[in-house]
Amino acid sequence: MPQEAAKYPLVDLVRQSPPFDIDHVPDDAWMKDKVILITGGASGFGAGFLKRWAAAGAVIIAADIDVRNGDRLVQEVKKATGNPNVYFLHCDVTDWQSQVNLFREAAKLSPHGGIDTVVANAGISQGKRPFEEPIHLDRANPPPPDTAVLDVNLTGVVYTIHLALWYLPRNPGSSPASPNSTPSATLRDRHLMLMASVAGLMPIPAAPLYGASKHAVVGLYRTLRSSSFMHGVRVSMLCPYFIDTPMADTSIRVAMAGGTLGEVGDVVEAATRFAADPRVVGRAVFVGPKLKVKQDEAGDWRLVEGKDQDAEQRAIWEIYPHDFESSDVFQRRLVSLMNRVTEIRGWTGWAQDMVAAILYGLRSWWR
């Protein structure tokens, strides 16, 4: 069936690059000497980014509230990679002045005095009190809800973006981001990477504030990429599924029993493709568990069971590719694929994951 012609396309006007090539692997040499600032850099995705990019020769400034893990990680990475330009700075992303000081110090640590990429990665999954379980509201002075998730995941991200939009356009030696740039010749960059979540694409039960914060990050990305060209800044976004990190606590692992978790390595790979290739402008991806899939004649992806030489393993999927062209059908396809994975694994997969989740909780408690 012929496709309907796109009406009023804005792709060229907003300087958006062509659709993201999932199979393209950039040259790590493109990251050498790039100065990258990562919030939430002491653990999880942030630590994965730091290790990979430091090994590629980038200058890394990792920031986190967790000084102990941050300092330890940086020393380990310096020793493992031989890269002396890896730094850790304390930062509370919910504190505006703390972030102001972070960016100022990062620029001082930069060999050329500027920042090429800012990764707004800091985030938490929950506060101390469940939002849907209000307490003591019958008192004369009832306590307000715990909004720590919003403070970190939204306010902190807004602060990071605001500062990035000042520093990136002023990066010495950089030029406005362009899909037509030559990676090997682009020594300086202007790149803002946002970390959202699958919770920004669909509702996650029992996590209203986390979902609200990540939906907000998705909204920030979709809006910023339509106007950031005015500052010469390219914006990208990652939306990880439930990934095997410390943020996936026992409750998440129990809830996911019978399904499957994604791998940190796939998230790092997706982020590296964004960070290394200056031609990728205004693109976003979902990163989930590796699926064995095959595309049918209608263009839909189907899960493949058993052997099929035409099938491929895929964990990275582009999302919101048609904001400036036509409507997006990613969510329907994604939900269908994830539900199909659970059906295939059945009760055996559920039992295995339940045992693993309980053991994970016991190990965390023992430590």
Q: Which residues are catalytic?
A: 210, 214
Evaluate the CA torsion angle 132, 137, 138, 143 in order and state its sign. positive
Q: What does DSSP say about strands 191-195 and 283-295: parallel, antiparallel, or unpaired? A: unpaired
Q: What is the DSSP string of 110-163?
A: STTSS-SEEEE----S--SS-TTS---TTSSSPPPP--HHHIIIIIHHHHHHHH
Residue 292 near residue 43 (C-beta atoms within 8 A):
no
If you count them, how many residues does the chain have?
A: 367
Q: What does DSSP say about strands 35-39 and 117-120: parallel, antiparallel, or unpaired? A: parallel
Residue 189 near residue 281 (C-beta atoms within 8 A):
no
Question: Cα–Cα distance between 115 and 275 in angstroms, integer?
Answer: 12
Identify the CA nearest to 283 among candidates 333, 324, 247, 242. Answer: 324
Instruction: Give φ, ψ of 335 to 5 degrees.
Output: -60, -40
Query: Coil, strand, or helix at residue 287?
Result: strand
H or E, element range at 169: none
Burial of 24 (0-12, 13-18, 19+ CB in 10 A): exposed
